[in-house]
Amino acid sequence: MYELKNDRYLRALLRQPVDVTPVWMMRQAGRYLPEYKATRAEAGDFMSLCRNAELACEVTLQPLRRFPLDAAILFSDILTVPDAMGLELYFEQGEGPCFARPVTCKADVDKLPIPDPEVELGYVMNAVRTIRRNLQGDVPLIGFSGSPWTLATYMVEGGSSKVFTKIKQMMYAEPRTLHLLLDKLAASVTLYLNGQIRAGAQSVMIFDTWGGVLTGSGYLEFSLSYMQKIIDGLQRESEGRRVPVTLFTKGGGQWLEAMAQTGCDALGLDWSTDINDARRRVGDKVALQGNMDPSVLYAPPARIEQEVASILAGFGHGEGHVCNLGHGIHQDVPPEHAGVFVEAAHRLSRPYHG
């Protein structure tokens, strides 16, 4: 493997000294880039793009050709795992992801297999290997998965939801069935992330997109405890380096202390959490990633810079900050505004280091 030329991102996650605050963007390989749209059109549809290692590699590298980002993130989808369990993922125009076979009862859960990362999810592992080869050590590669709770919401609801009635009905009326499902998902995600690490991912992230819809006790029981199981089962060293793990619960700012106790290396923050307050609460236990509102990228460049400056000042001096958006970049943001964000994060953060 190539020697890593820029390891700022990995160093920041481990709270080691860096020259400037590293920066990447959630969904940085995506629909705001015209070159992405062209590659997706070539692939035919979203899942065909995910399943073609060369094209998945191409869209992973596209933002790195435009911006001096400090990490690449695997181009894939959080719903690859339920799809590999036989739920048959498809995308409805304007509806988002849907499953042909949603989970409705214990019998459905009992039938679910635990996918082999090199068989049912081999296309993801091929993409990881292809991307690592093509990165040539320029920046590290982030692998990822959805959290068990988040995957379960899609599997039980049959797709996206705004109210989560089906999964919450299962949670309150048939908690044992939901625990069985979450247990299978935790085992599947652990295998999946370890597969990505063996294939070349140098850091992994668990996206708990819907943890924030739970009550405090519900979050600990149905979301965090299963992310804890995954963290306990992850391979934490590869190629002679630690493999840092980041947890991100959207809307989870009230549970940072509990999240920091899991043994993860870093916490992702959405824009509803003040980064200064987050740092005060978790101390030196974990690094923090975030947390600019993606909608700021609609603003003029001066306003984007102002927001970056405010977040950097909020975190303050010292190590352990990865600059990022508080969620994915919106598809209609001008690409040059993303460039302003990345450049400002590097330039304005220099005084906070060394």
Quote the CA–CA distance of 115 and 145 in Å, as a whole number: 14
Instruction: Give catalytic status of residue 77 as yes or no.
Output: yes
Residue 31 annotated as part of some ligand binding site? yes
Question: Per the residue annotation, which of 40, 241, 281, 303 is the catalytic one?
Answer: 40
Residue 346 annotated as part of some ligand binding site? no
Quote the CA–CA distance of 324 and 307 in Å, as a whole number: 12
List Cβ neighbours of 20 (8 Å cut-off, separation of 6 or more). 8, 345, 346, 347, 349, 350, 353
Residue 136 annotated as part of some ligand binding site? no
Closest CA to 206 of 229, 183, 184: 229
Question: Per the residue annotation, which of 66, 77, 90, 242 is the catalytic one?
Answer: 77
Cross-strand partners of 246: 205, 266
Closest CA to 95 of 38, 50, 154, 55: 154
Instruction: Give catalytic status of residue 40 as yes or no.
Output: yes
Instruction: Give catalytic status of residue 31 as yes or no.
Output: yes
Residue 132 annotated as part of some ligand binding site? no
Residue 27 annotated as part of some ligand binding site? yes
Instruction: Give catalytic status of residue 27 as yes or no.
Output: yes
CA distances from 12 to 101, 321, 348, 350 (A): 42, 6, 16, 14
Residue 353 annotated as part of some ligand binding site? no
Cross-strand partners of 245: 204
Residue 236 annotated as part of some ligand binding site? no
Residue 327 annotated as part of some ligand binding site? yes
Residue 29 annotated as part of some ligand binding site? yes
**Which three-class secondary structure state does DSSP give residue 246?**
strand
Question: Per the residue annotation, which of 9, 19, 27, 108 is the catalytic one?
Answer: 27
Question: How crowded is the C-beta side of 239, counted as CA atoms within 13 Å?
Answer: 16
Catalytic residues: 27, 31, 40, 77, 154
